[in-house]
Amino acid sequence: MIQSNMAPLGMAVTPHHLASESALAVLREGGNAIEAMVAAAATIAVVYPHMNGLGGDGFWLIMPGKGDPIAIDASGRAGSLANIDFYQGETQIPHRGPKAALTVAGTVSGWHEALALSAELGGTPLPLARLLRDAVRYAADGIPVTASQASATRSKREELQHQPGFSALFLPDGDVPAEGSRFTQPDLARTLSLLSEEGLESFYRGTLAHHLAGEMVNLGIPVTLADLQQQRASRVKPLHVRHSEGDIWNITPPTQGLVSLAILGITDHLDMANADEAQTIHRIVEATKKAFALRDRHITDPRHVVDDLQALLDSDLLTTIASQIDDNRAAPWGTGRGPGDTVWMGVMDSSGLSVSFIQSIYHEFGSGVVMPGTGIVWQNRGAAFSLDPDHLLALAPGKQPFHTLNPAAARLKDGRTMVYGSMGGDGQPQTQAAIFTRHVIQRLPLQQAVSAPRWLLGRTWGQTSDSLKLESRFAPETLERLRQLGHEVESLPPFSEVVGHAGAIVRHNNGMFEGASDPRSNGSAAGF
């Protein structure tokens, strides 16, 4: 079995090896984990353009060597023109096109806030131009098209080719770019260069902001210059669950961090250490159903959350829920929230600073709208809003949409620190649970825990089925046992992208770093 990568001074794990190398180069030059992550975030926006970008949102979970973790919410709000009347005649918010591009893109504000925090932690900051240098070059000179990008472009061509700017960028020469061909993004290179020169604030309050706002008017996007100018990432106290193996943190609403913590909190009462493969899957899936129910009751814009979610996690509720899980029968459940294309990345440095990070444009290619002259693909995160005024997720100007995004981190009782996460919409909390359970509780080696076959309860891209989908690498007897328990089981190809691109880094007590990347991605665990 493939082994984890280990290194003594620092480690970066991303789903694209060029982003890992961008982070590693910054670490080698004396930059800290936050600066390295900004470099990785900029690079992966270029090399995985179908999954994330400057036109999306992001979330940071930052663990100092000692002291409390800090989270950064870099998600944008619905534009001031985005009200229910704007969608008159629609039964739901469109998933593609200018009407889907209804929220401010927050990710760049997150880079800015993270670098501000980095400066507060001390040391000599690296220039912004240095952090964005790789991304600028890759956008200008070109990158080899991944199988993931080629596949996503091919499958979404019919749906997206008529959206503003899409074909000009993603269908060069009028066709889907072949895997391994050179893909250039000259407009994005100029945008990144502008940010290098003017600073990240330019995205919201400078030259770039004014350009974006003008194009939004032309395209009929319900976001204004004032909306851009008001965007600021915020530092928040992350949610926390005390687990028998240590302390685990995740992000507050509007993300589904609550779900990821609840699953691990529930299964902590179910003897996962001695569970066989079928039992492990069954228990996590049943806990997932319960956690999704909590999500649907509680998670919305944090200003609209009624209950104290930390108090909920600290109460006996998870113990009670665990007692309701039937080891011999799958419970019925409704529907999930569906898929999402995303990137999770982790970086740790020699000071003990750790970063768990995620950024996304929601569905592959987001709204499908490429902002003219910028190379920026705008997200469709606002499609998560409801047009029902009485719904928990009802659309309103200035409101944050629901997010599947949730990077995780843990301080284990044996002294190790761990950052981990995955892309994949509904799959994120499930994959987090799989990796944590396999590695921390069942003592599977880290890379094996990430590479091992996975599952997804819920819908995948373009499908309406909410079945339990499992990679075909599972043993036939495992699949049969799950069917006997009442699960509606479907098979996925081996190493399927549907179950997400996961990754993890562990800092051991002797200071050594261990990293694992997902063979389902183009990633790497790069250390020095």
Of the residues 107, 153, 342, 404, which is catalytic? Answer: 342
Q: Is residue 61 part of a domain?
A: no
Q: Is residue 72 part of a domain?
A: no
Question: What does the pLDDT read at residue 336?
Answer: 58
Domain endpoint, select from 322, 350, 384? 384
Residues 334 and 422 reside in one and the same domain: yes
Q: Is residue 290 part of a domain?
A: yes
In the chain, the number of structural domains is 2
**pTM score:** 0.96
Question: What does the pLDDT read at residue 34?
Answer: 98
Span 373-406, pLDDT tens digits = 999 999 999 999 999 999 989 999 999 998 888 9
CATH (domain of 310): 3.60.20.40
d(CA 403, CA 310): 18
Q: Is residue 73 part of a domain?
A: no
Residues 224 and 243 reside in one and the same domain: no
| Residue 342 annotated in active site | yes
**Over 193-234, what HEC string results?**
HHHHHHCCCHHHHCHHHHHHHHHHHHHCCCCCHHHHHHCCCE
Q: Which token pair is 223?
A: 């976001």
d(CA 138, CA 141): 5
Q: Which residues pair with 346 in a beta bridge?
A: 13, 356
Residues 269 and 368 reside in one and the same domain: no
Residues 125 and 204 reside in one and the same domain: yes
pLDDT in tens, the chain (528 residues): 689 999 999 999 999 999 999 999 999 999 999 999 999 999 999 999 999 999 999 999 999 998 999 999 999 999 999 999 999 999 999 999 999 999 999 999 999 999 999 999 988 999 999 999 999 999 999 999 999 999 999 999 999 999 999 999 999 999 999 999 999 999 999 999 999 999 999 999 999 999 999 999 999 999 999 999 999 999 999 999 999 999 999 999 888 889 999 999 999 999 999 999 999 999 999 999 999 888 888 888 888 888 888 988 999 999 999 999 999 999 987 665 555 568 999 999 999 999 999 999 999 999 999 999 999 999 999 999 999 999 989 999 999 998 888 999 999 999 999 999 998 777 889 999 999 999 999 999 999 999 999 999 986 544 556 789 999 999 999 999 999 999 999 999 999 988 989 999 999 999 999 999 999 999 999 999
Residues 188 and 215 reside in one and the same domain: yes
Q: Is 337 exposed, middle or buried (0-12, 13-18, 19+ CB in 10 A)?
A: middle
Which amino acid is present at 369? V
Question: What does the pLDDT read at residue 295?
Answer: 86
Q: Which residue has the tokens 């280990």?
A: 6
Which amino acid is present at 123? G
Q: Is residue 349 part of a domain?
A: no
Residues 370 and 447 reside in one and the same domain: no
Q: Which domain holds residue 35?
A: 22-55+81-231+363-384
Residues 314 and 414 reside in one and the same domain: yes
d(CA 118, CA 36): 11
**Residue of 21, 183, 197, 34 whose CA lies nearest to 120:** 34
**Residue of 4, 20, 2 whose CA lies nearest to 12:** 20
Number of other CB atoms surrounding residue 390 within 10 Å: 6
Residues 188 and 175 reside in one and the same domain: yes
Longest dimension (CA), the chain: 62
Residues 443 and 315 reside in one and the same domain: yes
Q: Is residue 224 part of a domain?
A: yes
Q: Is residue 333 part of a domain?
A: yes
Question: What does the pLDDT read at residue 442?
Answer: 98
Domain endpoint, select from 326, 349, 384? 384
Q: Which residue has the tokens 């670098």?
A: 115
Number of other CB atoms surrounding residue 513 within 10 Å: 27
Q: Is residue 215 part of a domain?
A: yes
Residues 408 and 370 reside in one and the same domain: no
d(CA 331, CA 235): 38
Question: What does the pLDDT read at residue 461?
Answer: 47
Count the helices and strands in the chain (H runs, E runs). Answer: 17, 21
Residues 161 and 29 reside in one and the same domain: yes
d(CA 385, CA 305): 15
Residues 92 and 174 reside in one and the same domain: yes
Question: What does the pLDDT read at residue 462?
Answer: 47
Domain endpoint, select from 354, 384, 414? 384
DSSP characters for 456-488? EES--TT-----EEEETTS-HHHHHHHHHTT--
